Amino acid sequence: MATNVADGSAMRLTTWQNLCAAWWPVLACLLILYIPTFYDLATGLWSTEEQAHGPLILVLATWLIYRQWPQMLKASAGKPVSKAGWVVLLFGLLLYVVGRSQEIALLETGSFVCVLVAHVLLLRGRAALKVQWFPFFFMLFMLPLPGIVVDAMTMPMKMAVSYVVEHILYWMNYPIARSGIILQIGQYQLLVADACAGLHTLFALESLGLLYLNLVRHESLFRNVSLAVFIMPISFISNVIRVMALTLITYYFGDAAGQGFLHGFAGIVLFLSALLLIMGTDSALKSFDKMRLRKRLFREGAAK
């Protein structure tokens, strides 16, 4: 047992030494180039409630890359590097120059992903990128979306969430009414804000579902595809639960509670409910998949 632990520690140490030896120039260049970018994000967009998921996604993506690093080195050993990485690198640098000079956060942050992909292609080849594709895809969820897209999609989403919340609470005999995205419950009025039911929230929940899907890695194609499809309605239901929680908090404890600490607590409820719904759906799909497999085996046995 002690030998296995020592071997594992030695393997991790070797992996870290290889990472530093081969990639320190890349890491140094990335730090020099993107420290101003991430500083601006940390003091700007990422400090807002709508974009607060950005740094968490970056940290998780970095952990996923590190987690799959030994597998990437093994898969790309002896394989040729890809010259296509130069094209991706030039494109990423072009995005950076345009985004930085014109203050377009989407392009500037997106260039970071392109530059990372380019370096993987140039140093380890396509086989390495095949291993690490998900962390780079996952990083796309931290990109700030264009305001015109957010505005166009957020309003219908808020209307839908407000409609569902009103009808559920009315069915539960609460004194509630709705005018557009404004909920009136008792003596209080609540405006369903972008942070409660907007496109950014949906993006954050989608990223949570995809991360769960990547970590569990089911062998069943049916289970993987079905769970991916259910992520969207699960995200919507989680938004409904959050708005309902805020509405009831305001109704019972007043505006101060609804807009204060408990508002942040409702955000925790949002992600916990999404995670529980994802896990519950996954368990239901597991049972359904087993039942489907038993029926198929029964039909095949009967046919024989």
| Structural domain containing residue 259 | 147-303
Q: Which tops the pLDDT comparison, 166 or 302?
A: 166
Do 87 and 224 reside in the same domain of the chain? no
Do 201 and 137 reside in the same domain of the chain? no
16: tokens are 């870290």
196 included as an active-site residue? yes
pLDDT classification of 22: cutoffs 50, 70, 90: low
Please count the CA atoms within 13 angstroms of the CA of 217 that sit on its side-chain side: 2
Do 221 and 239 reside in the same domain of the chain? yes
Cβ-proximal residues to 241 (8 Å cutoff; 6+ apart), any chain: 269, 270, 273
61: tokens are 């993506």
Do 107 and 158 reside in the same domain of the chain? no
pLDDT classification of 241: cutoffs 50, 70, 90: confident
Do 52 and 134 reside in the same domain of the chain? yes
Do 269 and 196 reside in the same domain of the chain? yes
Contact 223, 286 (CB under 8 A): yes
Of 127, 142, 157, the position where a domain reaches its end is 142
**Domain tally, the chain:** 2
Marked catalytic residue, from 114, 124, 178, 196:
196
Do 22 and 88 reside in the same domain of the chain? yes
Between CA 94 and CA 91 the distance in angstroms is 5
> Model confidence over 181-218: pLDDT tens digits?
888 888 888 877 655 555 677 777 788 888 888 888 77
Do 187 and 89 reside in the same domain of the chain? no
Closest CA to 275 of 216, 209, 203: 209
What does residue 217 show for φ and ψ, rounded to 5 degrees? Answer: 50, 65
**pLDDT of 24 above 80:** no
Marked catalytic residue, from 217, 242, 292, 296:
242
29 included as an active-site residue? no
191 bridge partner residues: 182
Of 142, 162, 194, the position where a domain reaches its end is 142
Do 127 and 151 reside in the same domain of the chain? no
Of 123, 142, 161, the position where a domain reaches its end is 142
Do 232 and 89 reside in the same domain of the chain? no
Do 290 and 166 reside in the same domain of the chain? yes
Do 163 and 105 reside in the same domain of the chain? no
DSSP symbol at 220: -
Cβ-proximal residues to 267 (8 Å cutoff; 6+ apart), any chain: 49, 242
DSSP symbol at 141: G
